Structure 1
C-alpha cells in the first residue's frame, strides 16, 4: 500500500537529463569468453556481490519496513550480497555511473536512452532472464530500453501522470490538457506544472489537439517548428501557473490547501491524497498524457554481471514484482504480479495489463537529434529542451 511513509524521500519524477550532446555510438560490451558481439551468451557463476544505484524504494531489505523485503530472499537464493546507493535525481545517478563502481542502475526513461547511446549500458541476452518473457508487451523493446533490436535491461513497471483536480473547486470535470496551458483557462493562478523540461512534452500533447496542423506525434520527437510552438505555448502557460513543483510533497500541499486546483500528478500521489481525504479526481486526458518507467540496466564494465542478471530476473518474478509495484506505486511489469498483490484491486486501479490504456501514455524518453519515433528528419535534442526550460523559468 502506498503511504506517506513509503513515498517520502522515495517517490520521484526524475530531475531530467542534464545538458550535453547525445551522440549515438556503436554499442558493444566488454569482450569475454562468454560474450558474442558484446552480449552474454551464458550465465556464469554468481560473483558473490552486487553493487546497485537506485531510487529509494526499489531495493528494500526490511530496514525501512520489516514487512518490505525482496533483497534478503535474493541474497539467500543466489549468494549475491547486495549493496545499494540511493539517489534522488538523474544527475546523482549519472555521477555514480561515471565512477565505474556499480553493476546496475534503475534508470528512468529520461536517462536510459542516454546510457544506451553513450555506451554506459550493456545490451542483455533476454534468454538469460527467464522472467523477461512475461513482461507486458508495452514495456518490451521500447525506445527508452532498446536499440537496434537489442534489449537493454529489465523494465520494472510503468505509471501515468493523470490530469488531477480539486473536485470541490473545479465544477466542470476537465477532459483535456488545455486548462494547464491555455490563456483562457478558467483556473488562472491555480495551475501547477512540474518544474522540469519534461513538462514540454505535456505541452506538446496539448498542442496535438489545439493545433493539429503542427502534426505532432510522439511528444519527445519534435522538429524545430513543433518545438518552437511548444515553447510559445509554455510562455502562455506561465501567465496562469502559480506553482512549479519539483517534489511531490509540494503537489500534495498545494492540492490540500487549495492554492492550486489542477495539474498533472502521478497515480500514486493521487491515490495518497484521496486516502488522506483530499477531494481530488483524475482522468486520462483525451490527448494522452506523459508517464514514467524505470529499467534495471547492466552497466558497462560491471564487475558482477552474473549477479546483475540474476537480479534482473528476480525483480521480474511475479511475487517480487507485486511487492515492488505496491510499495513503489506503479503498474507491475508482469501480469502474474496481479495475483500476488495485497490489494486485490491494485492492478485494476493502475490499468496494469490494459495495453489500450497505456497506448495513450507517452513514457518519458530522452529527446534526440535522430527522432526517437524513427522518422527521417532532424528533431530537437534534450540539450535544447533543457536550455529552453531554463530560459523560460528565468523569465
Structure 2
C-alpha cells in the first residue's frame, strides 16, 4: 500500500514538473493571444480561402476599447479571410438561411433554433477531429436535448433574459415580469422583437409553460401580449442599446451579457432577475448544410474555443462561458458578476426553450404577427374614420354655405 502511495506521489510530481512544458507549447498570435501549437493552423495559407461567419450583433471581441480583434487574429494566424456579418434574432437568421439568399460557413443560433434547423436538415454534422478544443467544453453542456449526440454544435456562450431599467426614471425597481404590464411604465417599455422571447415573458407572467404544447395555449398567452401592447414604446432587438443607454425608455427586456455592456456605458441602469424565473439560452457554433468550406469553418470554431480567445470574447461581451478553463482566467469583476454568473437560487428558476411542434410553431408565428399588427390595424381604421369625419365635416360646411347663400337670396 505504501509502495502504491509512493508511485502515486512520483506520478503527481512528474505531471507537475511537466506542466510548464505543456504551457510553453503555444503560438503567440498577438501580444495578448496565444494558441495551442499542436494544431495545424496554417494548412490553408496561400490558398485564398474565405469563410462567411454570421453571428449576433455585439457578440465577439472586435478590437474596440483595447480588446482583442478576434477575427483579425484568426486571419493573421490561418491566412483564412473572414467575411463577418451579424443578425439580431434567431428568426431573422433562420429566414435568411431558409431563403437561400446567402451562403454561410459558420452561424451561431440559440438552442431551440438549433433543434429546428437540425430537424429541417439545415446543418452539417461536425468533424470533431478538426475541433479538438471541444474537450474544453464543460460536461454539463455536452449532449444537450437540442443536439443529443452533439453531432452539430459547439456551445459558444450562455445567457439569461431579464429586466434592465433606468434607476433615474422609475420610482420603484421592477421585480417581476408582471411589472411590464404596469400602467406606470406606459410608453416607456421596450419589449423583445422576436416571438419566442416575448412569448416566454408573457408565459412566466401568466403561469404558463414557456414551451407551449397546444395552439390553444399559444392563443391564451398571446392575449397577454396583446393586452400589454398599448403600454409598449417599441419592440426592439439591438436597438435597445441606444435607447436604454440614451435614457429613451425606463424599462427594457434583454439578454444578460448585453445588460452588462449597457450598464458599463450608463451607470444609471440596473438589472433584475424576475422573481418568476428566467430563460437560459445556449448559443452554439454550427455549420450550415450549404457550406462549401467545412474544414476551414471547423478551424474557426476550434479557434473560438482557445482559452485566450474565449477569455477575450467573454470579457468583451459579458456573456457566460461554457468553458471552465476560460472562467478561471477571467477578470475578477466578471467572475463575481451576479448578472453573468447568478446565484444557485436564481439558476434554480431558469427554464430552457425546447423545439415546438410544427402546428404550435405555426400558430405562434401567426398570432405573433397578428399581435404586432393589432394596433397598426386599429390606427389605420382610426385614420380612415378621422378622414371620413373630415370629409363629412367639409361636406356639411359646403352644404351650410350653399344653404345660407340660397336663403339670403330670399
TM-score normalized with structure 1 length? 0.70
Q: Are positions 1:335 and 2:324 aligned together? A: yes
Deviation, 1:233, is 1.3
* Residue of structure 2 equivalent to 1:6: none
Aligned 8 A contact 2:51 2:104 in 1: yes
- 1:120 matches 2:135: no
Q: 1:271 aligns with which of 240, 260, 267?
A: 260
1:148-189 Cα distance to aligned partner (Å, 9 max, x none): 4343221110122222233344344332211113xx654344
Q: Secondary structure at the match of 1:151?
A: coil
2:223 counterpart of 1:224: no
Distance in 2 (CA, whole Å) between partners of 1:172 and 1:57 is 30
State the match for 1:346 in structure 2. Answer: 334
**Cα deviation 1:94-150 (Å, max 9, x = unaligned):** 535736843322223454233211111023355653322332355433344x1x434
Instruction: Give 1 or 2 for the bigger CA radius of gyration.
Output: 2
Paired residue secondary structure (2:87) = coil
Tell me if the contact between 1:245 and 1:251 (Cα under 8 Å) persists in the aligned partners. Answer: no
SS in 2 for 1:380: helix
CA deviation vs aligned residue, 1:331-365 (integer Å, no higher than 9, x gap): 12212112333x32113214449676445344555
Instruction: Look up the match of 2:105.
Output: 103
Match of 1:175 in 2: 175
Measure the CA separation in 1 of the matches of 2:319 and 2:313. Answer: 9
Q: 1:87 to 1:166 in 2, by over 3 A?
A: closer
Is residue 192 from structure 1 mapped to residue 190 from structure 2 by the alignment?
A: yes
- Spell out the pairing of 1:298-317 with structure 2 (5 A cutoff): 298-317=287-306
Deviation at 1:72, TM superposition (A): 4.5
Which runs of 5 or more structure 1 residues have no equivalent in the other structure?
A: 1-42, 209-215, 370-378
CA distance in 1, matches of 2:344, 2:125: 25
Question: Whole-Å Cα distance in 2 between the matches of residues 254 and 73 of structure 1?
Answer: 32
Worse overlay, 95-104 or 149-158:
95-104
Contact 1:166 1:261 in 2 (8 A): yes
Asked if structure 2 preserves the Cα contact closer than 8 Å seen for 1:316 and 1:333, the reply is no
- Cα offset, 1:203, TM superposition: 0.7
Indicate the residue corresponding to 1:261 in structure 2. 250
Q: Give the secondary structure class of the aligned counterpart of 2:313.
A: helix
Contact conserved, 2:277 with 2:346, CA < 8 A, in 1?
no
Report the RMSD for the aligned CA atoms in angstroms.
Answer: 3.4
Alignment partner of 1:53 is 2:57: no
2:283 maps to 1:294: yes
Instruction: Provide the C-alpha distance between the structure 2 equivalents of 1:394 and 1:100, rounded to a whole number of angstroms.
Output: 28
Could you tell me how far apart the structure 2 residues matched to 1:138 and 1:354 are? 17
CA distance, structure 2, for counterparts of residue 187 and residue 345 of structure 1: 32
State whether residues 127 and 298 of structure 2, in contact with CA within 8 Å, keep that contact through their aligned partners in structure 1: no
Aligned residues: 326
User: Which has a greater percent of helix?
Assistant: 2
Check if 1:319 corresponds to 2:317: no
Aligned equivalent of 2:163:
163
Whether the aligned pair in 2 keeps the contact of 1:59 and 1:70 (CA below 8 Å) is yes
In 1, the alpha carbon distance for the partners of 2:82 and 2:241 equals 32
Question: Of 386, 390, 393, which aligns to 2:365?
Answer: 386
Cα deviation, 1:210-231, whole Å, max 9, x if unaligned, reads xxxxxx34x1333233212201
- How far apart, CA to CA, are the structure 1 residues paired with 2:239 and 2:203? 26
Shift of 1:295: 1.3
Helix, strand or coil at the partner of 1:332:
coil
Alignment-derived partner of residue 201 in structure 1: 200
| Length-normalised TM-score, structure 2 | 0.67
CA contact (8 A) 1:153 1:312 kept: no
8 A Cα contact 1:192 1:243, kept in partner: yes
Q: Quote the Cα distance in structure 1 between the aligned partners of 2:340 and 2:371.
A: 35
